[in-house]
Structure 1
């Protein structure tokens, strides 16, 4: 073999080795799982680009080299169109997976469960304390919304709400309000005939009482029927949750005799008819029970202390049930 052929062979072999090494690193960089041991949040801010992502993946994800990604972006410029947002990077992801995720714009969705039976102040605290919500405009928005009754109490639909990082809490409140408004307007025309509610808002108030009084879901229409019967007979509703709501911060867990006699706008042992506003947030089920109570003559119920109730059509039977289950006599 001539000298030049030997040199050429060495060059070819060397180039092949370099190419093979580069090819191996190229594939390894793009397809090897990154070093995330658990799901990790990554935020690409507005104005940031591939450079910021690669630096993060190198520092936190163990990305061995940047050049394979940069080369790939040169070949396919669409891969550089990263969308700002907060993303969840998982242990099974490689560099290509991360890039595809940021190009798709499918941000991490967080959620919050707004629970039926809670008051607006409970919900407000929950929204303000959520680490991924922006609650700076919440109080201002709540005042501007100003629904019927002048309070958000009862007007927000309990549900699990999903959102992206930094979403305004007021946006969730508006969604919950529109959901309740739409549901109430849709169900009101289909209500049972001859109910003693003069408006959808009165039905919402009643539904909040049913919500607070119900321990077993299947009892909602029966409890609603008791209150409907009492309204029809011009009897006071005499329901403890309205007393508690009227006491506000003064409620310490116990209702005393003087509390039942206290003249607040919500004390249904004192006032006739419904309180002025709902006393809690209302589930779809409680509202449906309020609009479709069962047919019954029952006027009383008392708790068995297991979530269920004993229902009675007369005071004598009710007092007997109270003695059995509440006074233990």
Structure 2
């Protein structure tokens, strides 16, 4: 073998060796770049708007320590599905890598926000919560009453209390419609399974009663018993005489105290003055309160008074009730 041939082979082997070393080094750099954690110190929201594509994302990721673009280009060549990132609002977590970020945005799994709508609150309380939520679009909330309420006047009681999840920018009307439909479905289901001989002319009247039970109940276990008291009073054509209805009828005039003159002031909701149920529910109703209103216990009780610890003393006659009032309310 000539010296030239030996030299040529040596050069070729050297070139191959260098190429292998460089390739291995490049591969290690690539693996390290796409799988090492980005500089995300705390959970952060990242919004990819419609029309923004991979190049925009790469530029934005520079704030999290991505220094070069070539690893992204190589990665999407090897896994083309990662290039199909979707518009939305995502949560980037500490220790997430470039590969994980691309997987997240390609999956379309946006950050889920939540809103807890609590039983016993009024529609106007819920409306304020909805309008103040930073991730809901709520400009159309004022029009919902006309859109949804079968009574044409109030959404009170018609929305199911629950924790609702949604993505950034969700129209609040979508959330409210969901709560409305949940209550509609549940009310109709429970109406079909109601106890016999109840003094309600319609499911809506049961909803009104359930709202009163909701506001009067301190202990969940007492709901069916309190419902029985009001059912018994309706059957005997007695006034319900329940303070929460008076408070609701007072609206913004209520300052935390009910006075004798308030009990005598006629409003459509003052059940010390009117007979029967008020015209609408007075609060949003839990599933348990509605079940209680449609399935009260069997009893002859007509009165109850608070023990001031959340529980009540129940009575079948006025004399016993007055005695309980003196003991627990007047400290006599």
TM-score by length of 2: 0.95
Aligned to 1:53: 57
For each residue in 1:57-95, what CA deviation from the matched residue of structure 2 results, as whole angstroms up to 9, or x when unmatched? 121x21232211111212332221111111111113211
Q: Is residue 105 of structure 2 the alignment partner of residue 102 of structure 1?
A: yes
Deviation at residue 137 of structure 1 after TM alignment: 1.1
Contact 2:229 2:301 in 1 (8 A): yes
CA distance in 1, matches of 2:239, 2:95: 62
Aligned to 1:174: 177
Q: How many residues matched?
A: 328
Aligned to 1:189: 192
Deviates more, 1:24-33 or 1:290-299: 24-33
Aligned to 2:261: 258
Structure 1 segments, 4+ long, off by >6 Å, are none
CA distance in 1, matches of 2:274, 2:22: 90
Q: Is residue 96 of structure 2 the alignment partner of residue 93 of structure 1?
A: yes
Contact 1:149 1:277 in 2 (8 A): no
Q: Is residue 31 of structure 2 the alignment partner of residue 27 of structure 1?
A: yes
Q: Which of 113, 138, 142 is residue 141 of structure 2 equivalent to? A: 138
For each residue in 1:237-263, what CA deviation from the matched residue of structure 2 results, as whole angstroms up to 9, or x when unmatched? 000000000000000100011100010
Q: Which of 39, 44, 54 is residue 40 of structure 1 equivalent to? A: 44
For each residue in 1:178-221, what CA deviation from the matched residue of structure 2 results, as whole angstroms up to 9, or x when unmatched? 11011111111211110000110000000000000000000000
SS at match of 2:261: helix
SS at match of 2:164: strand
Q: Is residue 302 of structure 2 the alignment partner of residue 299 of structure 1?
A: yes
Deviation at residue 44 of structure 1 after TM alignment: 0.7
Q: Is residue 61 of structure 2 the alignment partner of residue 70 of structure 1?
A: no
For each residue in 1:221-242, what CA deviation from the matched residue of structure 2 results, as whole angstroms up to 9, or x when unmatched? 0000000000011110000000
CA distance in 2, matches of 1:64, 1:294: 70
Deviation at residue 149 of structure 1 after TM alignment: 5.6
Contact 2:145 2:153 in 1 (8 A): no
CA distance in 2, matches of 1:203, 1:141: 23
Deviation at residue 146 of structure 1 after TM alignment: 3.0
Contact 1:206 1:274 in 2 (8 A): yes
Q: Is residue 15 of structure 2 the alignment partner of residue 11 of structure 1?
A: yes
CA distance in 2, matches of 1:290, 1:151: 20
CA distance in 2, matches of 1:305, 1:131: 38
Aligned to 1:82: 85
Aligned to 1:320: 323
Q: Which of 143, 148, 153 is residue 150 of structure 1 equivalent to? A: 153
Contact 1:208 1:279 in 2 (8 A): yes
Deviation at residue 7 of structure 1 after TM alignment: 4.6
Runs of at least 5 residues in structure 2 that lack an aligned partner in the other structure:
none
Deviates more, 1:261-270 or 1:32-41: 32-41
Contact 1:148 1:201 in 2 (8 A): no
CA distance in 2, matches of 1:13, 1:65: 26
TM-score by length of 1: 0.96
Deviates more, 1:15-24 or 1:222-231: 15-24
CA distance in 2, matches of 1:221, 1:10: 89
Contact 2:35 2:97 in 1 (8 A): yes
Deviation at residue 3 of structure 1 after TM alignment: 5.5
SS at match of 2:114: strand
